Structure 1
Amino acid sequence: MEEAVFLKTVKKSKGEIIGSSSATYCVTGATGYLGSWLVEALLERGYTVHATVRDHVYALSKLLTEEAAFKFAKENGIDLVSVITTTVAGPFFTASVPSSVKVLLSPITDEPEFFKILSAVNARIGSIALVHIEDIYSAHIFLMEHSNAEGRYICSSQSCPLSMLANLLAKEHSYSNKKRQRLRN
């Protein structure tokens, strides 16, 4: 699932709402699905943005990087916020289809490697938690603009069982009843 971590590098008092274009933010994973939307929204609001680029080991090193970032931020008086996202849905403007979207659409795209991920999540927690891309980048910006925000936040708008998600996707994308029946089994 997607995650973007941001550092607030502007000095402020606790409880102050920033919301000014003088703030500078560093968005990690800025070339990813969420990161690209977050950078776009911040720039539209007049913020200065520093970005880091994701590489292939990004997902593998995310937890260690986050732990190190929290330690560094604490030692240097920097506010750090991490937002943990669930399965992200919505439009994208990255060069390729984001893995989150591939996972979400896997019940109707016949991509078994992505469907295994969705099935595993559903088996573990009994449903698929979802969030729209606009909601998640808006949550990031809200947390950036409120100086009392710190630590980790989970962002999800709803969940549904895999069978319900598959039926909704099949209905929305007009797939055959035969395929819909296969998804129920």
Structure 2
Amino acid sequence: MTADEPLNVTVIIGSTREGRVCDTVGAWIAERARLRDDLAVEVLDLAAYAFPPCYPERATPAMRRFTATVSGADAFVVVTPEYNRSFPASLKQAIDFAYDEWQAKPVGVVAYGSGSRGHHTVEQLRTVFTALHAVTMRDWVGLDLLSAGIGERCRPLDTDDRLRAVAAMLDQLAWWGRALREGRRAQPYVS
């Protein structure tokens, strides 16, 4: 793999709640990312995984499939709602199934809610990903689902401000992704 090969970015749909809009928001950000030649985008929907309700002694096939996808990615965009000033338990459970697979990889966040635009969620995810030795992007995309910038089925509209926020986050993700991919190749990460 050369430095100018596309970065493998996995967009993680972090909510499994029935009636969610996370898949709509996730499809929107994946479409924006796929417009770039430097990114190869895959969508990982947590609702497609039958994770166990309790952490088992041995990893299940779903857990192994999830960690293999995390391992194969160069970078991530986590799409998540803000529930009670935090992110969903389904997302935390999935994040915890991997450990080494997150190390020395960048993570961007698209968060949504009402009022805060998911700010509390982003701050908590930064703490979690820092503990896993991942690098979170300074800029993130926040959506207020009660604002005028939201269309049918809560699909974000492409406003100038929003597209600038997406570009800033993806530019940072691409830079960090390339730098960390080269770093991991040059020398194994030490945790």
Instruction: Classify the TM-score, shorter chain.
Output: 0.3 to 0.5
Q: TM-score, normalised on structure 2? A: 0.36
Q: Whose radius of gyration is greater, 1 or 2?
A: 1
